[in-house]
């Protein structure tokens, strides 16, 4: 869907087409640091950001991500009708510099390990502009980002970061500084961020828009709060800005010759001894707090053996073949609690709905954690989950007559079915009885829609 009309070709773009190959290469080699207000190929930032192709791609990305509405309550489904009516006005304001983002809507979501994470949700229109700007800026900064940074970057994933940790352990880095930055996204210094941006981008139009996003403020309920620092999580541009800021940490660690793995604000610095770790932690804390004006959480930041680290939900084990990742204990406990909640026998929902919720939950879980070693855990989880489902079904067969009829349908003899249906044992104990295991077999449960975790894990790992 075209959102904007194709921009008229500028004289500069016309000249660019007419120059020879040799001159084109020289133009493409222009450095952003040298003061050019253009992209590497000589096209102005404004034209690139507001191009029909870039805006259409940004629109599709924003709509595809869904997301909650901002303070104006406009949903992503309402964005297209709004743009059809107001696109010329929006473009005019962007070009003239009159465009001012609305305050973000403050929401809080629970963290897996307790506490609340603050998010700032921009309006869908502001998300469109942020996405358009991000799409232009990202390729430029990808050229200067560290190879040790993995978070929110194209063609890089959490799995890549975890496997880098495995590699470093196998190279002899058996201690790690588990660095925790206190409220990182809420404490980014705006002036310093703009300064870091200017190392690659000197276009005043683009920098002004980014500054306005940073200072747009927050609506916390009905109360407006000024944004004097921070880049709130929730907008498309926030992860890129966070990486640009912490790229200064990456450069400092690289300059000092340290091995490290960073995923957004989660950074681990690898060393070969506890003593070296303590020394590095002290000096890098000074750098972060004095140079980058960030706060190191002293309670959570520590030097630990690499086999005790917890990173992106994984920890490391080791055998004769070297290190390997597996899901951390807390992750296993959380998934069991989630499944316990889904299969709660007092839930007033159908078995089909329960099995569908399990399938959706566990496919995603296995896709993420399947990179780690967890064959035994998955096997035990399968057994436990089948018992939970048998318990759920048994509880639904409330009356003796219903139980007897269903047991006979599953192949049990009439007399045996009657005797078993009259049991006074509790549902959980009954779920482990051999008679129920022989009737509500694994095959029967899978036919009803229960996911086989072990088989699914093998398929994922062999894909």
Q: What is the pLDDT of residue 128?
A: 97
Tell me the C-alpha to C-alpha distance, in Å, between residue 175 and each of 4, 159, 316: 54, 20, 12
The residue that leads in pLDDT, 256 or 33, is 256
Cβ 212 vs Cβ 231: under 8 Å? no
Facing residues of 304 across strands? 176
Mean pLDDT, residues 223-233 taken together:
87
Mean pLDDT, residues 269-290 taken together:
97
Tell me the pLDDT tens digit for each residue of 370-429. Answer: 999 999 999 999 999 999 999 999 998 989 999 899 899 888 888 888 888 888 888 898
The percent of residues above 90 in pLDDT, for the chain, comes to 73
Quick check: 38 pLDDT over 70? no
Q: What is the pLDDT of residue 23?
A: 38
d(CA 292, CA 287): 7
Say what the pTM is.
0.85
Tell me the pLDDT tens digit for each residue of 152-176. Answer: 999 999 999 999 999 999 999 999 9
For the chain, give the number of residues.
Answer: 463
The residue that leads in pLDDT, 285 or 22, is 285
Q: How confident is residue 293, by pLDDT bands cut at 50, 70 and 90?
A: very high
Q: How confident is residue 43, by pLDDT bands cut at 50, 70 and 90?
A: low
Quick check: 248 pLDDT over 50? yes
Quick check: 192 pLDDT over 90? yes
Q: What is the pLDDT of residue 36?
A: 43
Facing residues of 323 across strands? 318
Identify each DSSP E strand in 123-162 by its residue range.
Answer: none
What percent of the residues of the chain are helix, what percent strand, and what percent coil, each to the nearest 5? Answer: 55, 15, 35
CA 268 to chain centre: 18
DSSP labels for 429-459? HHHTSHHHHHHS-HHHHHHHT---HHHHHHH
Phi, psi of 223 (to 5 degrees): -105, 130
**Least confidently predicted of 76-85, 261-270, 348-357, 400-409:** 400-409
**Least confidently predicted of 202-211, 216-225, 233-242, 365-374:** 216-225
Q: What is the pLDDT of residue 433?
A: 87
d(CA 441, CA 100): 62
Identify each DSSP E strand in 90-230 by its residue range.
Answer: 104-110, 116-121, 175-179, 218-220, 223-225
- Directed axis angle between helix 238-255 and helix 124-142, to 10°? 30
The percent of residues above 70 in pLDDT, for the chain, comes to 90
d(CA 110, CA 341): 17
Quick check: 190 pLDDT over 60? yes
Domains and CATH numbers, the chain: 40-143+189-228 (no CATH), 147-187+230-325 (3.30.70.270), 328-462 (no CATH)
Quick check: 86 pLDDT over 50? yes
Tell me the pLDDT tens digit for each residue of 298-315. Answer: 999 999 999 999 999 999
Q: What is the pLDDT of residue 357?
A: 97
Mean pLDDT taken over the chain: 89
Cβ 87 vs Cβ 132: under 8 Å? no
Q: What is the pLDDT of residue 26?
A: 35
Q: How confident is residue 112, by pLDDT bands cut at 50, 70 and 90?
A: confident
Gyration radius of the chain over CA positions: 28
């Amino acid at each position: 869907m075209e959102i904007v009309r194709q921009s008229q070709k500028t004289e500069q773009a016309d000249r660019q087409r007419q120059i020879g190959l040799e001159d084109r290469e020289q133009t493409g080699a222009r450095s952003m640091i040298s003061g050019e207000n253009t992209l590497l190929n000589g096209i102005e930032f404004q034209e690139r950001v507001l191009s029909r192709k870039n805006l259409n791609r940004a629109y599709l990305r924003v709509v595809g991500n869904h997301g909650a509405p901002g303070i104006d309550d406009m949903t992503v489904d309402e964005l297209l009708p709004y743009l059809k009516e107001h696109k010329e006005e929006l473009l005019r304001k962007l070009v003239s510099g009159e465009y001012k983002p609305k305050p973000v809507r403050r929401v809080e979501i629970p963290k897996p390990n307790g506490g609340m994470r603050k998010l700032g949700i921009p309006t869908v229109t502001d998300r469109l502009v942020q996405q358009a700007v991000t799409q232009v800026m990202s390729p430029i900064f990808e050229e200067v980002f560290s190879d040790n940074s993995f978070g929110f970057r194209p063609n890089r994933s959490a799995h890549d970061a975890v496997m880098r940790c495995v590699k470093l352990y196998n190279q002899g880095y058996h201690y790690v500084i588990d660095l925790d930055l206190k409220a990182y996204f809420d404490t980014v210094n705006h002036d310093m961020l703009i300064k870091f941006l200017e190392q690659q981008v000197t276009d005043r139009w683009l920098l002004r828009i980014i500054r306005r996003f940073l200072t747009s403020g927050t609506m916390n309920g009905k109360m407006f709060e000024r944004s004097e620092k921070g880049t709130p999580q929730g907008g498309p541009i926030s992860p890129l800005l966070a990486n640009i800021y912490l790229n200064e940490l990456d450069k400092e660690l690289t300059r000092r010759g340290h091995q490290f793995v960073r995923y957004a604000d989660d950074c681990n610095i690898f060393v070969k001894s506890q003593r070296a770790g303590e020394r590095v932690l002290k000096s890098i804390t000074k750098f972060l707090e004095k140079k980058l004006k960030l706060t190191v959480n002293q309670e959570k930041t520590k030097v630990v053996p690499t086999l005790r680290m917890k990173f992106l939900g994984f920890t490391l084990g080791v055998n004769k073949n070297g290190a390997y990742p597996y899901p951390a204990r807390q992750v296993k406990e959380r998934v069991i609690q989630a499944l316990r909640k889904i299969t709660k026998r007092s839930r007033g929902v159908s078995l089909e709905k329960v099995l569908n919720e399990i399938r959706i939950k566990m496919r995603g879980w296995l896709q993420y954690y399947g990179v780690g070693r967890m064959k035994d855990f998955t096997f035990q989880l399968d057994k436990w989950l089948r018992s939970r489902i048998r318990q759920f079904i048994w509880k639904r067969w409330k009356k003796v007559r219903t139980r007897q009829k269903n047991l006979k349908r599953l192949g049990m003899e009439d007399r045996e079915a009657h005797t078993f249906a009259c049991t006074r044992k509790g549902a959980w104990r009954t779920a482990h009885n051999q008679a129920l295991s022989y009737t509500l077999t694994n095959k029967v449960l899978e036919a009803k829609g229960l996911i086989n975790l072990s088989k699914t894990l093998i398929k994922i790992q062999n894909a």
